[in-house]
């Protein structure tokens, strides 16, 4: 639980180039025919009709910087006031230095601002908010920027090329199916002390739980993402239900005004709604047009919903990340 932490702003950078699932079907047409798989699986099974990609010359970290600049402006915070930058991107062009240093420099943050990456698959952004909130409550910093930029271009291209080779079988194809749902995008959030910003959105707290015995069910790199979809869904739902049930001792999340889920697919969303009894009308979906943008999915969806939220609305951020981990965090708008 947090005592004095508020979300001051959230902003997103939407990648401009649209790649439709019909286009991917067309590029994979020979493989689909050879494997006797129908077209339209991405639309009918995953519910992903489009995803976004960067234009030529655009970089994911530049997009993250842009989101960070707009988030700071919306919060009314100068770069010199920031004490912490946490980058949560899965995408990275090299092992070192951190992606955070490029974004720290791009935002013009002071040398006193601690900066580093947190890597925890699709839960990284929520984890980053949680850690930043703890440091604000501890009085170590006044303001934090949590940020994320993702680039799905390489993994998308590499996956399509590999799935088009003759040695790929149906089982291999389906193990890489999730890679085709990924999209590019960026987002940033600014956190600060609630008592200094009474119009901010209070971060109340939440829960996180792990089921790391499932660490090999979804393994990804720039070359591709390989998934045991059936086992991943089963393990993920067991973890979500366990965390949801445990949380009832301290939290009442059955009647939230909005549920901001990590954006994966129709199958994933339907399973969570069935397992928890969440009202579908309170769950906005962005994956049909943006795909799965990794850790940026939750803040991109929250940014899209922000204008429709009213003071006092209760918002739950929740998701599952490969590994497996789950996290749920309540905000009051």
pTM over 0.85: yes
Per-residue pLDDT tens for 172-214? 999 999 999 999 999 999 999 999 999 999 999 999 999 999 9
- Counting every residue, how long is the chain? 333
Q: Of 50, 56, 78, 96, which one is the catalytic site residue? A: 96
Average pLDDT of the segment spanning 110-130: 96
- Show Cβ contacts of residue 193 under 8 Å, excluding neighbours closer than 6 positions: 4, 5, 6, 136, 142
- Show Cβ contacts of residue 77 under 8 Å, excluding neighbours closer than 6 positions: 8, 143, 190, 192
Q: What is the mean pLDDT of the chain?
A: 96
Q: Please indicate whether residue 122 is annotated as part of the active site.
A: yes
Kindly provide the residue ranges of all beta strands, DSSP E only, lying in 49-194, ordered along the sequence: 50-53, 84-87, 114-117, 143-150, 185-193
Whether the predicted pLDDT of 105 surpasses 90: yes
Average pLDDT of the segment spanning 24-40: 96
Q: Please indicate whether residue 96 is annotated as part of the active site.
A: yes
Whether the predicted pLDDT of 153 surpasses 90: yes
pLDDT at 235: 92
Per-residue pLDDT tens for 123-134? 999 999 999 999
β-pairing, 201-210 vs 218-221, is unpaired
pLDDT at 222: 82
pLDDT at 247: 93
Average pLDDT of the segment spanning 295-313: 97
Whether the predicted pLDDT of 43 surpasses 90: yes
Q: pLDDT grade, residue 220 (50/70/90)?
A: confident
End-to-end Cα distance, the chain = 16
Give, in order, the Cα–Cα distances in Å from 171 to each of 174, 229, 322: 5, 11, 20
pLDDT at 223: 82
In whole angstroms, what is the distance from residue 107 CA to residue 156 CA? 29
Burial letters 24-53, b for 16+ CB under 10 A, else e: bbebbeebbeebeeebebbbeebbbbbbbb
Q: pLDDT grade, residue 224 (50/70/90)?
A: confident
Structure tokens given for 8: 């001051």
Q: Of 122, 176, 218, 330, which one is the catalytic site residue? A: 122
159 contacts 42 by C-beta, under 8 angstroms: no
């Amino acid at each position: 639980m947090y005592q004095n932490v508020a979300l001051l702003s959230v902003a997103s950078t939407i990648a401009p180039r649209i790649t439709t699932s019909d286009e991917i079907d067309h590029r994979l047409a020979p493989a689909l025919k050879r494997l006797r798989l129908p077209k339209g699986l991405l639309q009918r099974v995953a519910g992903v009709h489009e995803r976004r990609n960067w234009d030529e010359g655009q970089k994911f970290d530049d997009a993250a910087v842009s989101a960070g600049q707009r988030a700071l402006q919306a919060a009314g915070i100068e770069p010199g006031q920031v004490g912490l930058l946490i980058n949560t991107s899965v995408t990275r062009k090299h092992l070192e230095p951190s992606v955070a240093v490029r974004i720290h420099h791009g935002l013009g943050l002071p040398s006193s601002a601690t900066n580093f990456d947190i890597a925890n698959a699709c839960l990284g952004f929520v984890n980053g908010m949680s850690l930043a909130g703890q440091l604000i409550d501890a009085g170590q910093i006044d303001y934090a920027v949590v940020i994320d930029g993702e680039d799905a271009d390489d993994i998308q291209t590499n996956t399509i090329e590999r799935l088009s080779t003759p040695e790929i079988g149906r089982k291999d194809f389906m193990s890489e199916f999730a890679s085709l749902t990924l999209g590019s995008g960026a987002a940033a959030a600014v956190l600060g002390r609630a008592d200094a910003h009474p119009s901010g959105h209070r971060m109340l707290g939440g829960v996180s739980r792990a089921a790391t015995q499932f660490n090999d069910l979804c393994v990804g790199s720039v070359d591709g993402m390989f998934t045991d979809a059936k086992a991943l869904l089963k393990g993920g739902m067991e973890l979500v239900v366990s965390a949801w049930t445990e949380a009832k001792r301290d939290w009442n999340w059955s009647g939230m005004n909005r549920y901001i889920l990590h954006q994966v697919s129709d199958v994933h969303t339907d399973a969570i709604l069935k397992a928890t009894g969440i009202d579908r009308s309170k769950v906005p979906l962005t994956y049909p047009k943006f795909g799965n943008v990794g850790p940026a999915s939750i803040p991109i969806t929250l940014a899209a919903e922000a204008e429709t939220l009213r003071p006092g609305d209760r918002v739950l951020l929740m998701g599952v990340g490969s590994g497996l981990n789950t996290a749920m965090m309540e905000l009051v708008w």
